[in-house]
Amino acid sequence: MMRFKRTYRIRTFALVAAAFLFISTSSMFAQSATTQRPRITGISHVGYFVSDLPKAMGFWHDLLGYDEAYDLKKPGTDQVRIAFIKINDHQHVELFTDAPTAPPNMMSHLCFTVDDIEQMRTYLRSKGFDVKPGNGGKTRTGDYAFEIKDPDGTLVEFVQTLPTGMEAQAAGKSLPDARIAPSIYHLGFLVGNTPKSLAFYEEILGFKETWRGGRDPKILSWINLRVPDGTDYIELMLYSQLPATFGTQNHTSLVVPDIQKAVADLEARPWCKNYLTYQKPLEIRVGVNGKRQVNLYDPDGTRVELMEATTADGKPVPPSTAPPPPPAHE
């Protein structure tokens, strides 16, 4: 009788252990089968359409002080299709001479840097995005990249830079002392359905909200979202009805340590006289976020914002509790 009980206990223990091992193994297999999002480390670049490349270059080079690091020609010609304005070794602005795809929107696309482009493709496929094979090979600049669309149809590109690509090969070059700012602070762009945009950028891409605000205390205007694995951020410009001109809302923000010095430097540059012939004088303002800033506009009306990284009084501005505007589309 005692031998039977001892044998029964041993068998019971063995069965429990086997069941535990099965569950643990199944759980580990499920976790390994779940596709993880790769690291999204920052803003790589933003693309804008320009109607007159020499005038646009006057704005970016002669006024703002940036160099064109390289370009891509239209196939079979020596006409420039894309001019690459270097902000730093890891960020740039692309100026497209193509006609805008949807006037009056002069923004072509925005792009984020990832550490594993193939993993990003696999991850987005697991989330239901139609990322086809071949939509992720080397670009003409020699890096790995592909693009998808966000809920508003804005092209969102992901890039993994390669040592043999044009950007990496230009490292340390085309960085003049005249650059008005050392880096892109954030990118702002219009979104018409706040819940869908947050589901895309927060839930799928992993961006983290850092602040929200608005001019009207009764309705929200902006939501700031930081990339999951870096310090760069995007600014969702909320709307329920599209503005007449996208360029004043879609924008690039460049961070400066001293806005007054930056404006004085701009005003001392000869090209500033040309700029002032089609724009208002440079005016420093304190934004709703409490930071000093000044807006500039390229010849096509696309906004470039210079902004300090800290508030004017050193105190953080509380986020707005106002609701977002009603969705412009479902």
Interval 279-319: pLDDT, tens: 889 999 999 999 999 999 999 999 999 999 999 999 999 99
pLDDT (0 to 100) of residue 80: 97
pLDDT (0 to 100) of residue 329: 74
Total count of residues recorded for the chain: 330
pLDDT (0 to 100) of residue 8: 44
- Tell me the C-alpha distance between 55 and 104, whole Å: 18
Tell me the mean pLDDT in the region 16-21: 42
pLDDT (0 to 100) of residue 16: 38
- Tell me the C-alpha distance between 286 and 190, whole Å: 22
Q: Is 143 helix (H, G, I), strand (E, B) or coil?
A: coil
pLDDT (0 to 100) of residue 244: 80
For residue 78, is pLDDT > 80? Answer: yes
Q: Which of 12-26, 145-159, 256-270 has the lowest mean pLDDT?
A: 12-26
Q: Given the DSSP bridges, would you call strands 208-213 and 222-226 parallel, antiparallel or unpaired?
A: antiparallel
| Average pLDDT of the chain, as a whole number | 89
Residue type for position 14:
A
CA angle 314, 318, 319 (to 5 degrees): 130
Tell me the mean pLDDT in the region 155-159: 97
What pLDDT band is residue 247 in, cutting at 50, 70 and 90?
confident
Residue 308 to residues 61, 138, 180, 184, Cα–Cα distance (Å): 21, 36, 12, 12
- Tell me the C-alpha distance between 233 and 129, whole Å: 23
What pLDDT band is residue 101 in, cutting at 50, 70 and 90?
confident
Domains of the chain: 40-311 (3.10.180.10)
Residues 6+ apart with CB under 8 A from 196: 151, 327
pTM over 0.85: yes
For residue 86, is pLDDT > 60? Answer: yes
Percent of the chain with pLDDT over 70: 88
Tell me the mean pLDDT in the region 76-90: 97
Q: Kindly provide the residue ranges of all beta strands, DSSP E only, lying in the chain, ordered along the sequence.
A: 40-49, 68-73, 80-88, 91-96, 107-114, 144-149, 155-160, 183-191, 208-213, 222-226, 233-238, 251-255, 285-286, 291-297, 303-311
pLDDT (0 to 100) of residue 23: 39
